[in-house]
Amino acid sequence: MAGNVEAPAPVGARPERDPKARGGWRGGARIWEETEQQAKKLRSASDAEQHRKLPKRKIVLLMGYSGKGYHGMQRNVGSSQFKTIEDDLVSALVRSGCIPENHGEDMRKMSFQRCARTDKGVSAAGQVVSLKVWLIDDILEKINGHLPPHIRILDTTAMQTRPRTCWLPHGTGLKRVTGGFNSKNKCDARTYLYMLPTFAFAHKDHDVQDESYRLSADTLRRVNALLACYKGTHNFHNFTSQKGPREASARRYILDMFCEEPFVREGMEFAVIKVKGQSFMTHQIRKMVGLVVAVIKGYAPESLLERSWGEAKVDVPKAPGLGLVLERVHFDKYNQRFGNDGLHEPLDWTQEEAGVAAFKEQHIYPTIISTERQERSMARWLGTLPVHDFDATAHAAAGLGTKAPSPLGDSD
């Protein structure tokens, strides 16, 4: 018995721990981590299973946004230097749970397409995008909950009676479309507006050139007569860049263009020019407005308008981008084929007009007005017209010995 008694440990010596006990906390940590990972996998699998049970459908979203501070609509994947509208939209789609995260990284996976690629600073009150999503509950409310106030999916009416086969969550800013729908390719026409202070139409020689100017009925009639000249099919190679006079894609069809009655905001008078066309090239509308302004102010003859559609190079002045807004997109052919088939809704957006108007009044028009007051973009641009050379490119070509295009279209 005595031989089995352990000798007392020396004073100050540390008791030896069981190796198994020594590694117990590490083993417990590993067990905890493995358990947590399994739980995460189970939650992820549960979420994936839940999403698999949700219908994934092709839809369109009606969007409004103020473009100030953004480098256009289209997302530049891999570039965080220039923020775009689609950056905020895709983030909201992922965070709301209606698309998986990897679809946000590669937008082709959700068949994403925008109807119009608006440029830097350009706003929209009726942009339409098409994509595939999970039809989660309260989808519009959740998407808008992750968007800034100046970007909205326009949700303007309560749930309405619809065919059971095309039921959607309430809000007409979201509509079901056919599986192969592409918002860009199926768009028949686009309507833009351009809002500008009316002193842009003040004649350089006999009108005041400041905010006290008010647009007369006679000047408005002359503005509309010039804008009407754009209607029809013309060669707009001088109204964009990198387009030659003989390129077929430079020919564009304009359905309508006119200037509405002026109105006063914060002591400054503004007017809105509206233009509807099948499609537009980069800077085309801004140059269409710029040339009419130059003629009305007396810096260019009316004959320059028709000459700009010819083969000769004309340097058309480009109005500021601040006032340009995509107002509406049109899907007439699609509506004729699918709008009344009992499965899909017509994409006419007439019920959303009140919401579109409210968004313009709340987010777009105030931004244009305040920015014009602070930055004076139109006033500064008007200051360049007295020295603008409408034949600068032609003169440069002549100086380099380049042969200008023949008005008769003869080849070298």
User: Which amino acid type is present at position 101?
Assistant: E
The answer to whether the beta carbons of residues 255 and 189 sit under 8 Å apart is: yes
CA distance 157 to 290: 38
Find tokens 């209607």 and name the residue.
231
Q: Could you give the dihedral angle defined by the CA atoms of residues 137, 329, 74 and 314, in that order, rounded to the nearest 10 degrees?
A: -170
Q: Two tokens at 380?
A: 């500064």
Find tokens 């946004």 and name the residue.
65
194 annotated as a binding-site residue: no
CA distance 177 to 174: 10
Q: Bridge-partner residues for 152, per DSSP?
A: 64
CA distance 79 to 75: 9
Find tokens 């909201």 and name the residue.
92
Active-site residue among 119, 218, 256, 341? Answer: 119
C-alpha distances (whole Å) from 166 to each of 158, 175, 337 are 16, 9, 16
User: Could you say which DSSP state residue 149 is in?
Assistant: T
**Residue 19 φ/ψ, nearest 5 degrees:** -55, -35
CA distance 357 to 350: 12
CA distance 6 to 16: 14
The answer to whether the beta carbons of residues 123 and 364 sit under 8 Å apart is: yes
Is-catalytic flag, 119?
yes
- Indicate the annotated binding residues: 192
The residues annotated with a catalytic role in the active site are 119
- Indicate the annotated binding residues for substrate: 192
